[in-house]
């Protein structure tokens, strides 16, 4: 039995409920691989789970994505071997650790073009952008898209990839200081959400044209107004709730706003099947190799300072992705 350092919560609450401690790490079970993790990703879902918005049985680890090196494999594992560089984004919570056992079918080997830090900050967020741009709506050249939180982790990746596909992206940010990051990601214009009539500002920026798709992961503060920015027969994608749970919407409202489509998708079912996950990851790695997808690391924290990483994200102080190092 070897040891590892793991961040866990024993109760739901503020960032301080995260505690890092040494634990015993058993050898990998059949079907598992043991990883020495070199880079760990932070995702906003980690906050929802820490707060108990999406409750998990306690105590629990948190974190969905990491990259590292395979140290050992359990019985029956043939697709990865000791020494392989790998990453994962859908192996259950518990990525906040320096070493971990993971179901081998949840791992994807990393190409030389994708360093560990990029993998740990891109896999979850990049595969989110991948299904949003390819499956939720197959983005076409000339599509006008409204992307909320365009300076955030998913927001920057989604914007860059959409622009590479030929779309025009109008972004929003929660503060003027993030405008530069949203423009650098490829937004044609950036709307400040502090303007109470930000939908009018959006329409002013587009010359009155409405969006084919609105990507909204802010939720409570924005979703109703997002409906006013979608073109007739357009799509409103509610894929998160950074400001709180989105309001319930009467289907009749979708009729009144222009026969809109509304969906609430998630990255997990899109990557539940291991073969589909690896195919999606190959698509993402191809987009990285083409330069269509890059990540901006806007905050770096040690595993021991994981509470500070959560606080920075909650306080909207980060532009881009947060990287955690063991």
Ligand X SMILES: NC(=O)c1ccc[n+]([C@@H]2O[C@H](COP(=O)([O-])OP(=O)(O)OC[C@H]3O[C@@H](n4cnc5c(N)ncnc54)[C@H](OP(=O)(O)O)[C@@H]3O)[C@@H](O)[C@H]2O)c1
Phi, psi of 281 (to 5 degrees): -65, -40
Angle at 155 between CA 276 and CA 86, to 5 degrees: 40
Pick the stretch among 90-98, 137-145, 169-177, 202-210 that binds ligand X (CB under 6 A).
169-177
**Distance between CA atoms of residues 110 and 67, nearest Å:** 9
Size of the site for ligand X (CB under 6 A): 29
Quick check: 178 binds ligand X (CB under 6 A)?
yes
Phi, psi of 303 (to 5 degrees): -55, -40
Quick check: 313 binds ligand X (CB under 6 A)?
yes
Provide the minimum distance between the beta carbon of 122 and ligand X in the complex, in angstroms, as a whole number. 11
Q: Which of 249, 182, 191 is nearest to 220 (CA)?
A: 249
Interface with ligand X (CB under 6 A), residue from 4, 104, 120, 151: 151
Provide the minimum distance between the beta carbon of 43 and ligand X in the complex, in angstroms, as a whole number. 4
Q: Which of 106, 126, 170, 175 is nearest to 144 (CA)?
A: 170
Quick check: 173 binds ligand X (CB under 6 A)?
yes
Query: Between residues 126 and 326, which has the closer beta carbon with respect to ligand X?
Result: 126
**Distance between CA atoms of residues 216 and 246, nearest Å:** 10
Pick the stretch among 50-58, 133-141, 194-202, 310-318 that binds ligand X (CB under 6 A).
310-318
Provide the minimum distance between the beta carbon of 97 and ligand X in the complex, in angstroms, as a whole number. 19
Q: Are 187 and 170 in contact (CB under 8 A)?
A: yes
Helices 274-289 and 116-131: angle between axes, nearest 10 degrees: 110
If DSSP codes are grouped into helix, strand and coil, which group holds residue 237?
A: strand
Residues contacting residue 295 through CB under 8 Å, at least 6 positions apart: 118, 121, 122, 125, 126, 156, 157, 320, 321
Interface with ligand X (CB under 6 A), residue from 50, 85, 125, 160: 125
- Positions 48 through 107 that interact with ligand X (CB under 6 A): none
Quick check: 179 binds ligand X (CB under 6 A)?
no
Quick check: 123 binds ligand X (CB under 6 A)?
no
Quick check: 162 binds ligand X (CB under 6 A)?
no
Token pair listed for 11: 């109760």
Provide the minimum distance between the beta carbon of 32 and ligand X in the complex, in angstroms, as a whole number. 25
Pick the stretch among 94-102, 138-146, 272-280, 309-317 that binds ligand X (CB under 6 A).
309-317
Q: Are 297 and 291 in contact (CB under 8 A)?
A: no
Quick check: 45 binds ligand X (CB under 6 A)?
yes
Spacing of C-alpha 167 from chain mean position: 20
Per-residue contact track with ligand X, 205 to 244, x per CB under 6 A?
------------xx--------------------xx-xx-
Quick check: 306 binds ligand X (CB under 6 A)?
no
Quick check: 267 binds ligand X (CB under 6 A)?
yes
Q: Footprint of ligand X on this chain (CB under 6 A)? A: 43-45, 125, 128, 149, 151-155, 173-175, 178, 193, 217-218, 239-240, 242-243, 265-267, 313-314, 316, 318
């Amino acid at each position: 039995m070897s040891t590892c350092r793991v961040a866990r919560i024993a109760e739901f609450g503020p960032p301080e409920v995260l505690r890092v401690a040494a634990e015993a790490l058993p050898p990998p079970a059949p079907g598992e691989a043991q990883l020495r993790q070199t880079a760990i990703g932070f995702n906003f879902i980690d906050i929802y789970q820490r707060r108990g918005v999406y409750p998990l049985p306690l105590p629990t680890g948190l974190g969905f994505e990491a990259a590292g090196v395979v140290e050992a494999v359990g019985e029956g594992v043939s697709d990865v071997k000791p020494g392989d560089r790998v990453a994962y984004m859908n192996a259950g919570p518990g990525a906040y650790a320096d070493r971990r056992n993971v179901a081998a079918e949840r791992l994807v080997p990393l190409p030389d073009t994708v360093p560990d830090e990029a993998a740990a900050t891109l896999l979850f967020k990049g595969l989110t952008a991948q299904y949003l741009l390819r499956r939720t709506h197959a983005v076409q050249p000339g599509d006008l898209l409204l992307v909320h939180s365009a300076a955030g982790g998913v927001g920057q990746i989604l914007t860059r990839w959409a622009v590479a596909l030929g779309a025009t992206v109008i972004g929003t940010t929660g503060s003027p200081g993030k405008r530069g990051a949203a423009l650098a990601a490829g937004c044609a214009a950036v709307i400040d959400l502090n303007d109470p009539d930000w939908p009018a500002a959006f329409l002013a920026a587009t010359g009155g044209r409405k969006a084919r798709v609105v990507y909204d992961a802010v939720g409570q503060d924005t979703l109703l107004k997002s409906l006013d920015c979608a073109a007739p027969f357009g799509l409103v994608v509610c894929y998160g709730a950074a400001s709180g749970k989105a309001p319930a919407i009467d289907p009749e409202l979708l009729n009144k706003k222009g026969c809109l489509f509304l969906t609430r998708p998630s990255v997990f079912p899109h990557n539940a099947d291991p073969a589909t996950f690896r195919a999606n990851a190959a698509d993402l790695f191809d987009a990285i190799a083409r330069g269509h997808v890059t990540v901006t690391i806007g905050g770096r924290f040690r595993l021991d300072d994981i509470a500070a990483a959560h606080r920075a994200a909650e306080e909207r102080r980060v532009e881009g992705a947060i990287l955690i190092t063991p």
